[in-house]
Chain A
Amino acid sequence: MSKTLTFNAAALATLGLALGSCQPNIEDNHPAATAGAADFTSYVAVGNSLTSGYADGGLYNAGIRVSYPAILAQQFAKTERGPANFVQPLFDESKKDGSGYLKLVNSFPTTGPNAGATVAAPTQPTPANMFLGEQLAVNFPIVSLPGGNQLAAYTGSQPDNLGVPGISVLSSVSALTGGLAPFGYINPFFERLLPASERFTKDYVTYIGQKNATFFTCWLGSNDVLTYATNGATNAPDPVSGTVNPFGDLTDTTRFGAGYRAILRTMTRNGTVKGAAANIPNVTNIPYFTTVTVGAVAASFKAINPASPGVFIQTSSATAPVRLATSADLLTLTAQGYIAAVVAAGGTAPGSLPTSPLPNKYVLDASEVSAVTARTTQLNVIIAKTARQYKVALADMSAYFTNLAAQGVVTDGVSNSATFATGNLFSLDGVHPTPRGYALIANEWIRNINAYYGATIPTVAPNDYRGVLFP
């Protein structure tokens, strides 16, 4: 028996040693990252807020760091022709929260339906709440530009991420507006990037033309319809400054086409530099327009006044400037706060009576939805045609977002949707994605670039990027 046991002990010891190397390896189909026909050694990203990493109603370092161009550059770097570095226009770390951004802030109701629960609501940083503890880059004393408060200037070399929140195709090319209102003066995000001497003279297309890219992405055009849409399809003068946004209307197709061609001509150096362009997502199915519904507002009115017939809205129609809203009319995310604020101040709830309709800027009525959607389609035709003309890949972000809005997307067991806040894809402004949303966008770019240039750039795991943060 001792013989047997000795034998077993030896066998087990041998086995133990052997097991150390017994981890199975899964080797197959893990292709190396290759650049295909593309050359990413100098990658430049052109675009608007979506390109800059803007989220939660603000531009701040944490968002910039997970902008889709930053993710793309990181993934491009895994190929044999990746960028050695990718410069982003970060704020100084002492001002890392940039323009400031919305956060969910808890309240603790002791009465009412949520008594005893903790309730979070999106909250803007203001002096009253100590800016939510954020370290803003807003200059003091405050310098008001038409597009917002002036921000601390960016002092590094010209970035590779050239995304400027607010920029549109129309505002990129000053010739299109006869040199009217240089965007570097209007927009604080562009102003901070430009040397003081150039703020009144250099337009965006000139600015981006300074780069020598070997590969670029271009995602412009959303603000040619979005600015108009998010203001409820009005372009009324700002109530405080009285100025009218010269780029606040739907951009016409003629000038959009001229501007878009100028941009791609510049970035491709007349069709010799490779790149990829993306088209304009439908802006009417984002949480900004789908969260506050006519039905919900009508129900809240009915709860107070059972005889309430519904929600009265101001429309852009000359014949029926005020009418009852239907489910085909979209209310903005800001409408709820506006109604609540008026009521809290002792006023009549806007929308509850024909004599106090919900103002036009909080409503995208059915005809305006049609107009915005139709123009988006027209502009996307121009984008597709121009991309073909300059031989760059086209990422159909319009189709991608439509699908996302309709079905959501599951990422490694996590259900994400276009639902405000809890859906995890859209940040608290209801328009811009969360880091997870940007990661999915980066993957969609990669899919298209791989297909067009025969590259094998790996995608990222979306769950490595955050959704909405809850307090």
Chain B
Amino acid sequence: MIGVVDYGAGNLGSVMNALARLGIGARFAAGPEELNPGSSPFDGIIFPGDGHFATAMNSLEQSGYGRALTEWIGADKPFLGICIGLQLLFERSEEAPPSDGREVRGLSVIPGSVRRFPGRKVPQIGWNQTKARKGSRLFAGIPEDAFFYYIHSYYADPVSPDDTAAEADYYVTYCSAVERGALAAVQFHPEKSGTAGLMLLENWAGGL
């Protein structure tokens, strides 16, 4: 059973629709207590959604999901972040610059920052070619340079190149997927990326 974290933003129905289509059992998590690594009813957690970095982090802190997710990921339990679910894994974002000397900290599971695209036409909206690292489990069997659907203004910039599982180009070549142990996250929306997106979700869920 997959647990989907609903922190109150974005179109989560489409993630559920995609999992249902693949015959993968999933339901929304009832609360952060269901993410206890020792007693969770879930084999893996998906954290999807759009939203503002600061708003999302505030919501995660208030709901208790922030801590629960950090513990889940810290225990190397299967995790898939989508869109803001990738960005929140990092330490900070240019979307939420420090004010009054206070920094909005991300979950800080992966060292690095989230930056704004250095170009005129932002957000990036559309299907972009995605170059996966050789041997990536997430992208196994997916044609090289397949297109995925992106919609975002900020991109992740990890400190270590080892954390990058795939790259795309939009003004810069940037990290569009991370993979580290049981931790995976993608900047694009696999649930809106047609056949390639469904294959990626199946790859992730199949490894549980």
Determine if chain A interacts with chain B.
no
Chain A residues in the interface with B (C-beta under 8 A):
none
Chain B residues in the interface with A (C-beta under 8 A):
none
